[in-house]
């Protein structure tokens, strides 16, 4: 079964094929003297309007944009879920109390360490703890470490957390790979758009940038929990882009 990426590419190549057929048909009339150059261009433009080629390319662009928005939302949702407390007001208050106590245990230890060692301790804690203790570290440690001169802590924390939490790791790794593939497909869409507006038939450059554009969807990670994880519901549409 073809991935969604290949389906979108096919929509672009279908436009190219329709355009090329139109060009070849009207070019024969041009060569036979049945059309002027202006008439030839007008005939191809009529086919372009009739076939709604521009609208089909716009639809591919819109689907790519929607895909990226879903991937970004999935990452944000997975990250937010790790510091979100569900339950009744009483349950949430108890969870906040446990988290506060956990941080009160961690902070005196970190105070005795130099900034680099404190950072290592925090990252180890994020990697090995869970529940309220991990949530305490995620909520309190970044600002604490910044006051001690540690820079770029958020990215360090997210990298460690991606290794420790399968769902966040999935979302975090999916998004940049998807962004690269989406960029390739958006470039293919733009090349197709430029090409159909230029009248001439598809050439080697267009083939390379559309028909042969690298779209290795197998590089996209598979959701480790089958689109439903411990942190909430995940967007199953993201897996449609895998082969």
Q: Could you read off the pLDDT of 219-230 as tens digits, one per residue? A: 898 877 654 444
**75 and 173 within one domain:** yes
DSSP annotation of 221 reads: P
Q: What is the pLDDT of residues 23-67, one digit of tens each?
A: 999 988 888 888 999 998 899 999 999 999 999 999 999 999 999
Q: Which of 164, 188, 210 is the last residue of a domain?
A: 164
- Phi, psi torsion values for 229, nearest 5 degrees: -125, 180
Instruction: Give the DSSP H or E segment for 145.
Output: helix 131-147
**173 and 74 within one domain:** yes
**208 and 103 within one domain:** no
Q: Which residues pair with 228 in a beta bridge?
A: 233
Residue 121 lies in a domain: yes
pTM assigned to the model: 0.83
* Number of separate domains in the chain: 2
Q: Which of 164, 179, 208 is the last residue of a domain?
A: 164
CA count, 13 A, side-chain hemisphere, 87: 10
Q: Which of 141, 164, 187 is the last residue of a domain?
A: 164
Domain housing 175: 4-12+53-79+167-241
Q: Where are the strands (E) in the chain, listed by range? A: 228-229, 232-233
Residue 211 lies in a domain: yes
Q: At what angle do helices 89-111 and 131-147 cross, to 10 degrees?
A: 50
**73 and 135 within one domain:** no
């Amino acid at each position: 079964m073809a991935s969604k990426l290949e389906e979108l590419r096919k929509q672009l190549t279908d436009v190219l094929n329709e355009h090329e057929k139109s060009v070849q048909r009207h070019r024969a009339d041009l060569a036979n003297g049945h059309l002027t150059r202006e008439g030839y261009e007008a005939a191809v433009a009529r086919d372009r309007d009739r076939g709604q080629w521009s609208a089909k390319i716009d639809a591919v662009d819109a689907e790519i944009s929607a895909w990226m928005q879903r991937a970004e939302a999935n990452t944000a949702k997975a990250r937010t879920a790790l510091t979100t407390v569900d339950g009744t007001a009483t349950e949430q208050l108890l969870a906040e109390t446990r988290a506060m106590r956990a941080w009160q245990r961690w902070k005196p230890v970190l105070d005795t360490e130099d900034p680099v060692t404190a950072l290592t301790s925090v990252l180890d804690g994020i990697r090995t703890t869970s529940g309220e203790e991990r949530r305490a570290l995620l909520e309190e440690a970044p600002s604490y470490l910044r006051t001690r001169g540690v820079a770029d802590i958020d990215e360090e924390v997210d990298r460690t957390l991606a290794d420790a939490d399968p769902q966040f790791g999935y979302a975090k790794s999916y998004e940049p790979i998807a962004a690269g593939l989406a960029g390739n497909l958006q470039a293919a869409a733009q090349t197709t758009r430029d090409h159909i507006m230029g009248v001439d038939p598809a050439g080697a450059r267009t083939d390379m940038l559309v028909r042969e554009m690298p779209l290795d969807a197998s590089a996209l990670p598979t959701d480790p929990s089958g689109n439903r994880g411990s942190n909430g519901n995940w967007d199953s549409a993201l897996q449609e882009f895998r082969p």
